[in-house]
Amino acid sequence: MISVPIAGTGGSITIKVIGYENPAAGNDSDANWLRSTVRVSVGPFAGDIDGSLTTQDFAYFERELSEVLRTLQGQATFQTDEDWLRFEVGMGSRGTATVSGVVKAGGGSHASLRFSFETDQSFLGETNRALGAVAKDFPVKQVRAS
């Protein structure tokens, strides 16, 4: 299991990647889903939700966050295919950033939590290192048909 922390002042998101959902999948679409647990903690609110994320979700976010950290400007977005988790990291001045987004409960529930908290490039550097570990241990698979 790998934990990806997005931490800051007054809030955090922790994505725990447990493993591939279907390690023996015979196609790209099914092969790249990951079992995950997400914890969002902002102010007095905190909650955990289990869900499926894709290897591509992490790859895109790692690429965007690396560029934001390199240039200290811009925005990186993490968004799930099924739209149950979305957040943006927007770089401000002097290495500070704002994390804002929404997490939604599944199963027909209309419950959701919108959140926002401040962070900085040192916290985001740790996030980027953890994203690299996810990419190494859970790479985007390209399944060849037999």
Instruction: Give the CATH number, domain containing residue 35.
Output: 2.30.31.10
* Full domain range(s) for residue 24: 2-137
Split into its structural domains, the chain has a count of 1
**Chain segment 52-88, per-residue pLDDT in tens:** 999 999 999 999 999 999 999 999 999 998 889 999 9
Which pTM was predicted? 0.92
Tell me, yes or no, whether 145 lies in a domain. no
Q: Residue 69: what pLDDT?
A: 96
Q: Residue 143: what pLDDT?
A: 73
d(CA 96, CA 93): 6
Q: Residue 107: what pLDDT?
A: 63
Provide CB contacts within 8 A for 70, sequence distance 6+: none
Residues of the chain with pLDDT > 70: what percent?
97
Q: At what angle do helices 121-137 and 55-71 cross, to 10 degrees?
A: 150
Q: Are 127 and 120 in contact (CB under 8 A)?
A: no
Tell me, yes or no, whether 38 lies in a domain. yes
Tell me, yes or no, whether 142 lies in a domain. no
